[in-house]
């Protein structure tokens, strides 16, 4: 997966003429960051979740352990920490047109302002989404999991019907070739009742 230059987690100062990055361990569900210190220093944290289970993806994605690369750049705005974040990952989802597996690459950017409680919501500028957290113990896993869910498409579909045909050709077999041995009174015959599922494919395309 293309993305950042280094896979392991690290924190570094993005300003010029400063010391090189300090290396950290790979992030885990218990990883916390001191966003206050990072914001005052104008620092960037970068790392990768690989093999970590995101429980909230259960029933939404085919895999709960996507490889996720994360970059969080911290700064101060009105004396509050803000985060410019980037996620790079790839989901394996079920196409809602053909019900086959599909890959859905994600390059997601987000802007957050960290606040202590909901009482500060009205102070969050329109450009930023609020994130309620202890700024000295920012739970990285919870933040990333939430952004993963927001990055999922509302309706997952292959880009083209041709891809669906390649993955699940049996779904697109011409239904007119299937014989149905059911007698229908002549008075009730019409296009609408002769092929009750004739428009199913059109509905699935919507």
Per residue in 137-150, pLDDT tens? 999 999 999 999 99
Burial class (CB in 10 A: 0-12, 13-18, 19+), 45: buried
170 and 124 in a common domain: no
Q: Does residue 156 belong to any structural domain of this protein?
A: no
Q: What are phi and psi of 132, to 5 degrees?
A: -80, 120
196 and 99 in a common domain: no
Better pLDDT: 51 or 7: 51
Task: Quote the CA–CA distance of 52 and 28 in Å, as a whole number.
Answer: 7
Q: Does residue 3 belong to any structural domain of this protein?
A: no
Q: What is the mean pLDDT of the chain?
A: 79
Total domains in the chain come to 2
114 and 58 in a common domain: yes
**10 CB-near residues (< 8 Å, 6+ apart):** 21, 22, 23, 24, 45, 46, 47
99 and 198 in a common domain: no
In this prediction, residue 172 carries a pLDDT of 72
SS3 label, residue 118: helix
Q: Binning pLDDT at 50, 70 and 90, where does residue 186 land? A: low
Average pLDDT over residues 24-41: 87
SS3 label, residue 21: coil
Could you list the residue range(s) of the whole structural domain that residue 177 is in?
A: 161-205
Which of 17-26, 84-93, 174-183 is least confident? Answer: 17-26
Q: Binning pLDDT at 50, 70 and 90, where does residue 155 land? A: very high
Structure tokens at 61: 């994605």
167 and 125 in a common domain: no
pTM of the model: 0.70
């Amino acid at each position: 997966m293309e993305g950042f230059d280094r896979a392991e987690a690290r924190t570094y100062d993005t300003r010029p003429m400063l010391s090189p990055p300090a290396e950290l361990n790979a992030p885990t569900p218990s990883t916390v960051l001191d966003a206050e210190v990072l914001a005052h220093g104008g620092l960037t944290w970068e790392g990768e979740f690989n093999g970590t289970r995101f429980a909230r993806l259960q029933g939404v994605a085919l895999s709960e352990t996507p490889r996720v690369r994360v970059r969080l750049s911290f700064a101060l705005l009105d004396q509050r920490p803000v985060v410019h974040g980037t996620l790079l990952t790839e989901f394996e989802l079920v196409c809602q047109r053909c019900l086959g597996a599909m890959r859905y690459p994600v390059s997601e950017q987000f802007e957050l302002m960290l606040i202590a409680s909901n009482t500060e919501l009205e102070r969050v500028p329109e450009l930023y989404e609020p994130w309620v957290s202890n700024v000295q113990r920012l739970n990285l896993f919870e933040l990333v999991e939430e952004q993963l869910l927001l990055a999922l498409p509302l309706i997952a579909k292959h880009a083209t019907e041709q891809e669906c045909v390649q993955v699940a050709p049996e779904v697109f077999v011409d239904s007119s070739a299937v014989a149905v041995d059911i007698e229908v009174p002549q008075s009730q015959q019409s296009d609408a009742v002769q092929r009750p599922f004739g428009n199913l494919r059109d509905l699935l395309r919507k």
